[in-house]
Structures are given as C-alpha cells and as structure tokens.
Chains A and B, each alone.
Chain A
Amino acid sequence: MAERLDTFPRLLLEHARVRPASPAIREKDLGIWQSFTWSEVAAEVRALACGLAAQGFQRGMNLAIIGANRPRIYWAVAAAQCLGGVPVPLYQDAAAAELVFVFQNADIAYAIAEDQEQVDKLLEIMPQCPKLKHVYFDDSRGLRNYAQPELMSYASLQAIGREFDARNPEFFLAEVEKGQASDIAAMFFTSGTTGTAKGVVLTHQSLITAGRTGAEMEGLTPSEEVLAYLPPAWIGQNIFSYTQPLVVGFCVSCPESAATVMTDMREIGPTYYFAPPAVLEGLLTQVTIRMEDAGWLKRKLYHYFMGLARRVGARILDAREPVAVVDRVRYWLGDLLMYGPLRNVLGMSRVKLAYTAGEAIGPDLFVFYRAIGINLKQLYGSTETSVFVCVQPNGAVKVDTVGPPVKGVEVKVTDAGEILIRSPGLFQAYYKNPEATAEVKTNDGWFHTGDAGYLDPDGHLKIIDRAKDVGKLKDGTLFAPKYLENKLKFFPYIREAVAFGHERDMVCAFINIDFDAVGNWAERRNLAYSGYGDLAAQGAVYELVRGCVEKVNADLAADPKLAGSQIHRFLVLHKELDPDDGEITRSRKVRRRFVAERYKVPIDALYGGKRDCYVETQVKFEDGRTGTIAATLKIVDAKTFPAAAARRAA
C-alpha cells in the first residue's frame, strides 16, 4: 500500500481509513475550537470535489483559492487535487489589480473565495478576466444581496456535490485513481524581489518527497500540533499545514482571526512551529516593549537572565560544549523564573521543533530564541525547491550557516559563488514561461538559486546574500546589504532597513521605525506625536535610531572583513515600506531595485552630503485609492569606528 500513497488525495483517503476519528483540522469558531476528524474531512472534500465536477471543473483546470487559514480553504486545495485539477492559492491581502495577471496567465475559470472582501475583488477583476465564470464563497456575511450569476456559496456547491455523488457513486474514487505522482499538485505564484509574478509548478511527487524527507529527519509523529497562521499562498505554509499533515497525519489548527494568533498559540500549544524572521522579530519587539513597561525588579531579572541565556543557553540546548555547573544551576533557576514563563507567553511551551525560513535571519534574533530553550532552526529553501534544501541539524546548529543539505538534495557552488541545487523536490517549470524556466533550471536538473554562498568544511551551507545584491564599495570592501539590515532590524525600534553602498564610497541606509515600539518609547517620554510620519521625523527618535546604528557600527568594526561597511549616514523614512506600494514583497523582502528607483532623490541626498531633502511619494491605500505623502527628511551622520581600536576593546 505504501508505494501507492503518492498523491495527496490518496494520502487523505488513507488517513480517513487508518485514523478516521483523529482530529485532522480545527478552527476556532464563535470562541470554541471545532475539530474535524479525518473521515469528516474526507467526506467534506469529496462533496466539494463532486460539486466542482458537477459544475464542469475538469482535470487539468486551475482553481484559484483565496482566503485566510480556514479548513474550507484547505479542503478546496484537496478537492481540486482529487479531480486532477491544480489549486492556485493566492495571497488574501493582494490588491485586485495584482490578481489580474494571475487569472489571465493561468486561464482561471473557477475560484473559491473566503468572504465578501475576496468576492468583491474577484467581481472587480471579472471584466478583465472574462474566463472567470464561477466564484464560490465560504462566509456569506454581507453577500446576501449579491445577485451576480457567477456567485454561489460553498455550502450550496457541496450540496450539489452530494447529490451528484449519490447519482454517480463511482465517480469520486475513479477520479482519485486516475491521479499520478507526476501530476501537477499545485501552483504558487511568487512575485520575487524582481519583475512580475511567475507560477511555480510543483508535482505531487516533489511536494510529498520534500515533506516526507523533512518529517522523517525530524521524527514528526501524528501527535504533532501546528497552528496555521501564515498566508496559505506561501509555499512554507503549504508544506507545514497541508503537505506534512497529510504525509504524517497530524492536526492543523486555524486561528480565529489574524489578531488572535497569540492567544490561539497559547491555547493550542503547537509542538511544531515555523515563522519567517519578520514574525519572530515582531514577537521579540512585543516582549521588549512589555519588559520596558514592567517594574524595576522584573526588568533587572530579565536583563540578568537574558545575559546568562545568551552566554550559555544555546550551548545547553545543543548539549555540545561543556557548561560549568554553576552556570547550569543559574540557567535552571532562570528557566524557572524567566525562560519558562516567557516561552509560555509566546505560546511556545510545547514547541519541540521550530523552523525559521523565507529569509535570512539576523544572528542576534536567532540566538535569542535558542537561548531561552526553543529549538529554533534555520531552514533553507524556496518555492522552486519545495522548501526543504538545507536544515540545521539538532545538536549541531551553527548560527551563521543553514546546515547541511537534507537527504536526496545535492548542492554545488559555481565558481562565481552561486548555489545550485538538484533534488526530487524541484519544481517542474514556471507556468507558461519556458524562457524563465530555462534561465534558472539546466537540462540536467540543476536549479540556479540566485543566492551566493559556500559549503563550509563541515558541509554546512553558508548563505552570504542574494548573489545579485552582494556588491563592493568603491575601495573594494565587501558589501552585503542584507547582513547589515538584519543587524539593524534586531533592534526593536527598527522594523525595516535598506542599505546602499554598491559602487559607492560609503554605506548609507534608510530606516523604517517600528511604530509600536517607538510609539511606546515616545509615550513613556511624554513625546507627543500625531502619526507615523510625525513620530519618524522627531529629533529624539533620530537620536534613538542613531544610537542603534552606532551600535551596529561598533559591532561591524570588530570584524575586519566588514569594518569598511559601517553605516556613515542614514535617514528615517516618513512611511512604512509597504507591499501595496511594491516596495517589499508580500513575504516582506525588500525589492531593492524598485526602492532605489523610487527613492532616488533621498539616496542622492544621502551621498550628496545634504542635511535634508524633500520627497513626495505616491502611496496606495488599502481600499485601492492612491494619494501622495510628502515630507522633508532629515539626514544624519552616524559615528563610525576604526577597525583596530574596536578589536582591542573587544
């Protein structure tokens, strides 16, 4: 039987057979966690698939799925796969205009939408996407009076399906039987940091192999708990909340709303957790804010025990290097008083395994979580590789590498320093885009990641940066922008940073303050401000940021290779970098080239030695309108340190 479990529908039916009464997926509805067992899920998926079939959805067609983490969204993915169709999950916060390309490119005729918000977007783009004829919605709130013939509720669709199933009882299983491991299982549109979106085509085999390899390596069992809180359109979310639960048979919980994730984490107590660095940063910022509001004693305790944790915590977790008995006792006490409660607040008390993926994580941020006893590990991969390429092994985590390649993955580094990958999890092609495919995938199956890095003597992969981003200053010093930005972003007050320096004579940076953290800081100092732009422009805030930048510079000075890339000048942006404005991707990666073009004036001012500059930027509001924000930005010099002196001090 095992060798036949090679497609997602077969895995689903197998779980419904082996563990019919175990919970497969949960959602919090009206304040109560509602569980669906594997057999219930199988029945729901069957009804949905039959409904789609009755409505004319056929093998090979694409089904757009847009919505937050809800069981019905995941069932839609499975239903499309049962029929040999291709689910195309889309970012729920994408603006209508961004969706047009996907719908046109993938000839999408059927779509499943979560609620009124998504339905409105689909109705808006319908004139430009004449092929879109069927939209099914899950939550009918606000949609009662919509009369468009294209609309139907998810429940009605399932009712049609049940009727269809009763008339054609053989149909569903026959369709599942037709499925092959080499069929396309899903398509993920990635915008990337450059250019337009590309549909990454992945087969059942690639996703399942990647999910299975990861699960075997980490020893995942059906008793794991996972909270699905990231956008379903992200490959990582699919792997952890769809692929691996189906491969292993564990339960996924969907939070009540995006705002309740922290509470839901504590209630569910996931054992397996994953988060892009931005989320981990956000959590740390919250902790820091709360600690600063805490009483004197708590603050003292926190700083003392965090200092201890940074020194010995990771070593104790790894059980690699010896730790003095007195430090062990101290750490044990710290665990009782500080780390345990802190893990509890973060909802991570039961976490056995946590991954961070999606982007490079700043070392300080990474060490923070490991120091308080959370087994956070870096995972390297991309949509094109079904995520799993390299994973840091338990007990041998090196902060600056992403670990050795996982089983079945071959990694090689070109002379130019680019990382190439060959693995069973590799994508088939970019949808309808052979040129783009040929650009990154060679005939013998090697994928060009576009990342620069090397394998260290232990066989761990070290990523330096995106190959095209790594540059050199005019004097030849290495310039790795992401490295600098991550160092800056470790400070709770800095949410985003963009460093410039390639072919320049010094490094300069844009800073985005963290509105919550700086706002809180300002309130404690009785600084009045009216909004983000006003706060960002305050002199005191500039001083605060300057302090952070100078600390980074002092750190950089200690590393002879990087001492030259200290940040000489910076400015604080008047608006947050926003995916709606195209400045960062939906997964929060800075789109450098775009930012460099859009903010040419302030960049020129940074390098032109000016004290301030006037900028006007167009912004898109959430409801799709556009407007302009104008501000005069101050430019400030930061102190830099001579390389040698800092080394002596350290």
Chain B
Amino acid sequence: MQSQRKIGAPVLVVEGVSLSFGGVKALQDVSFDVRKHEVRAIIGPNGAGKSSMLNVINGVYHPQQGRITFKGETRSDMNSHEAAAMGIARTFQNIALFKGMTVLDNIMTGRNLKMRTNFLQQAIWIGPAKREELEHRRKVEEVIDFLEIQHVRKTPVGRLPYGLQKRVELARALAAEPEVLLLDEPMAGMNMEEKQDMCRFILDVNDQYGTTIALIEHDMGVVMDISDRVVVLDYGRKIADGTPDEVRGDQKVIDAYLGVAH
C-alpha cells in the first residue's frame, strides 16, 4: 500500500526539558520534535523516563527547565486542560476507563470538551442540548465503527477482555478528534493477535484522520514496524534519535537497551 500522508513541519517541539522529583532526575535536558502526521515513538528501558516525558507533554508534570512549543506557542510547561483543549489526547498505560460504564458512555466522555451546552440544558434535554448530543453520538458511532467495537457498544467496560479495553481507551481519545495522540504503551500486555490489530488501528488512524501520533512502547518489533522516527531515552537522557533503522544500528542504543551485540 502506498501511503500519501505528507509528513509536515514540527507541530510539537520539546527543548531542553529537565524534570526531577526531589533527588531523582527523571529527565535531563531532553530535546526532540514531533512532525505533523508522523508516527513518533519514544522508547527506552524501564525507568528511562518515557512516561514522564509523555506526562510533561500532556501537562501532568511541570518540568523545572526547558520549553515546549505546540502549534507555534512556546511555554515552559503545559496544563492538562489546555493541552486537551489544544488538541492533545492520550491513553494510559494502565487503562483509565470508567469500569462500570458502557463502552458507548466511556467514549462519549471523550467528547466532553466539545460540548457547548451546560449541564442544566443537558438534564432537561431539549432543543440545543438534544441536537448537540445526537451530533456527538454520531461522531462516537463513527469511532466505534472505525475501531470495530460495535459488538460491545452496550457492554460495561469492566466486563471486556484487556485487549478490547485498550481499544476502547483509544476510541475515547479519538472521539476528542485530537491533532496529536499520545499513546502510553498501547500494546503492553497484549497477545500477538491483539498487538497486530492495535498496530493496524494506529496506522489507520494516522492514515485516515492524519492524526499525529507519539507513542511509548516496550515492544521493539512493533515500534520498528510502525514508527517513522524513534527517540531513545536512557536514565532520563536522550541517547539516540532517528529512523528505526538508524536507531537500530546505533551502538549506544544497542548497549543500553538491546543488549551488547555478540
């Protein structure tokens, strides 16, 4: 398949970010960029600072040093509400869904920021609130169709197998129609078949909606297959940055992450 998605200018630039928790230096002077429409992977061994990096971009953590430029706006830290409002959506390493709610309701929460009517209008459910809900529901149904989870639409999330829950979480992030999608270990704990499905969905999202994707992943095979560029962290420092092939051949990466070659 020949993809025509055009990788554009950097949409997100991280410059010299350092983050520490007391004496623990989670990130030290990390810089990299994410270009429009690309699939960008952040990899590294356990404790390398991958999730911290994502949390900085997403505004959960506030770095002590450095700058983040998103869509031309530069700031020293993000705020998670602003990040969401500006078009950054994310999924979590340990699924953060409402277990007792149905798949449909969970995905509907992804539309929260797009809702214009207030909760009183919604409670009475007349006029604009009703129209708006139908509009959101249609969008959610498109996502459900896209990710092929029609059969569990009305099932409480807690009853679903793990792989499907991950897919529901992706659906919720997609429902927000993000420009940048941050995926925290989307394939962790999945079996081979589920991983393949997830890869296909990630690539489809990237291709169909043109969504920029930044993902953290443990599974090297997966990362190398689907990413355009990879940044490698180790002990909070960036040790490599480039295409999967470049990274794979980098001696520092091999030593730090893949083990010493024999």
B1-31 interface bits toward A, Cβ cutoff 8 Å, 1 = contact, 0 = none: 1111000000000000000000000000000
* Listed stretches B75-83, B145-153, B213-221; interface member: B145-153
Q: Is A257 within 8 A of B150, CB to CB?
A: yes
Complex-state Cα separation, A263 to B152, whole angstroms: 10
Q: Is A259 within 8 A of B3, CB to CB?
A: no
Complex-state Cα separation, A225 to B2, whole angstroms: 44
Q: Is B145 within 8 A of A30, CB to CB?
A: yes
Q: State the majority secondary structure of interface residues on B.
A: helix
- The reply to whether the CB of A260 lies closer than 8 angstroms to some CB of chain B is yes
Q: Is B151 within 8 A of A146, CB to CB?
A: no
Q: Is A30 within 8 A of B142, CB to CB?
A: yes
* Residue ID in chain A nearest B146 by CB atoms: A141
CB contacts (< 8 Å) of A142 on chain B: these are 1, 204, 207-208
Q: Is A263 within 8 A of B208, CB to CB?
A: no
Complex-state Cα separation, A31 to B103, whole angstroms: 13
Q: Is B144 within 8 A of A31, CB to CB?
A: yes
- Contact of A30 (CB < 8 Å), options: B141, B151, B204, B207: B141
- Contact of B150 (CB < 8 Å), options: A31, A145, A146, A147: A31
- The reply to whether the CB of B138 lies closer than 8 angstroms to some CB of chain A is yes
- The reply to whether the CB of A384 lies closer than 8 angstroms to some CB of chain B is no
Complex-state Cα separation, A147 to B2, whole angstroms: 9
CB contacts (< 8 Å) of A32 on chain B: these are 141
A383-414 interface bits toward B, Cβ cutoff 8 Å, 1 = contact, 0 = none: 00000000000000000000000000000000
A14-47 interface bits toward B, Cβ cutoff 8 Å, 1 = contact, 0 = none: 0000000000000001111000000000000000
- A541 nearest CB across to chain B (Å): 21
- The reply to whether the CB of A256 lies closer than 8 angstroms to some CB of chain B is yes
**Which residues 113-163 of B sit at the A interface, judged by CB distance below 8 A?**
137-138, 141-142, 144-146, 148, 150-151, 153-154
Q: Is A259 within 8 A of B145, CB to CB?
A: no
Complex-state Cα separation, A30 to B204, whole angstroms: 18
- Contact of A31 (CB < 8 Å), options: B148, B153, B204: B153
Q: Is B153 within 8 A of A145, CB to CB?
A: no
Query: How many residues of A are counted as interface, with CB atoms below 8 angstroms from the partner's CB atoms?
Result: 15
- Contact of A257 (CB < 8 Å), options: B4, B148, B208: B148
Complex-state Cα separation, A256 to B154, whole angstroms: 14
CB contacts (< 8 Å) of A144 on chain B: these are 4, 207-208
Complex-state Cα separation, A482 to B3, whole angstroms: 51
Q: Is B138 within 8 A of A145, CB to CB?
A: no
A248-270 interface bits toward B, Cβ cutoff 8 Å, 1 = contact, 0 = none: 00000000110110010000000
**Which residues 208-248 of A sit at the B interface, judged by CB distance below 8 A?**
none
* Residue ID in chain A nearest B151 by CB atoms: A259
CB contacts (< 8 Å) of A30 on chain B: these are 138, 141-142, 144-145
Q: Contact residue range for chain B?
A: 10 to 19
CB contacts (< 8 Å) of A257 on chain B: these are 148, 150-151
CB contacts (< 8 Å) of B151 on chain A: these are 256-257, 259-260, 263
Complex-state Cα separation, A146 to B4, whole angstroms: 10
CB contacts (< 8 Å) of B150 on chain A: these are 31, 256-257, 259-260
* Residue ID in chain A nearest B191 by CB atoms: A531
- A194 nearest CB across to chain B (Å): 33
Complex-state Cα separation, A141 to B204, whole angstroms: 9
Complex-state Cα separation, A110 to B102, whole angstroms: 44
- B250 nearest CB across to chain A (Å): 32
* Residue ID in chain A nearest B141 by CB atoms: A30
Complex-state Cα separation, A36 to B137, whole angstroms: 22
CB contacts (< 8 Å) of A259 on chain B: these are 150-151
- B144 nearest CB across to chain A (Å): 7
- A266 nearest CB across to chain B (Å): 11
Candidate in A146, A147, A263 with the most chain B CB atoms within 10 angstroms: A263
B28-66 interface bits toward A, Cβ cutoff 8 Å, 1 = contact, 0 = none: 000000000000000000000000000000000000000
CB contacts (< 8 Å) of B144 on chain A: these are 30-31
**Which residues 157-203 of A sit at the B interface, judged by CB distance below 8 A?**
none
* Residue ID in chain B nearest A260 by CB atoms: B151
* Residue ID in chain A nearest B204 by CB atoms: A142
* Residue ID in chain B nearest A263 by CB atoms: B151
* Residue ID in chain A nearest B200 by CB atoms: A142
- A123 nearest CB across to chain B (Å): 11
Complex-state Cα separation, A147 to B148, whole angstroms: 26
CB contacts (< 8 Å) of B4 on chain A: these are 144-145
* Residue ID in chain A nearest B139 by CB atoms: A30
- B110 nearest CB across to chain A (Å): 16
- B67 nearest CB across to chain A (Å): 37
- A117 nearest CB across to chain B (Å): 12
CB contacts (< 8 Å) of A263 on chain B: these are 151, 154
Candidate in B3, B142, B145, B150 with the most chain A CB atoms within 10 angstroms: B150
A276-320 interface bits toward B, Cβ cutoff 8 Å, 1 = contact, 0 = none: 000000000000000000000000000000000000000000000
A113-145 interface bits toward B, Cβ cutoff 8 Å, 1 = contact, 0 = none: 000000000000000000000000000011011
With A31-B153, A256-B150, A257-B150 as given contacts, are A141 and B208 in contact (CB-CB < 8 Å)? yes
Complex-state Cα separation, A260 to B151, whole angstroms: 5
CB contacts (< 8 Å) of A146 on chain B: these are 1
Q: Is B2 within 8 A of A145, CB to CB?
A: yes
Complex-state Cα separation, A257 to B145, whole angstroms: 10
**Which residues 169-204 of B sit at the A interface, judged by CB distance below 8 A?**
204
- A115 nearest CB across to chain B (Å): 12
Complex-state Cα separation, A145 to B204, whole angstroms: 12
| 8 sampled A-B residue pairs with Cβ under 8 A | A30-B141, A30-B144, A30-B145, A31-B150, A145-B2, A145-B3, A145-B4, A256-B151
Known pairs A30-B142, A30-B144 / 11 extra A-B pairs, C-beta < 8 Å: A30-B138, A30-B145, A31-B150, A141-B204, A142-B204, A145-B2, A145-B207, A147-B2, A256-B150, A257-B148, A263-B151
Q: Nearest 5 CB-CB pairs, A to B?
A: A259-B151, A30-B141, A31-B141, A260-B151, A256-B150
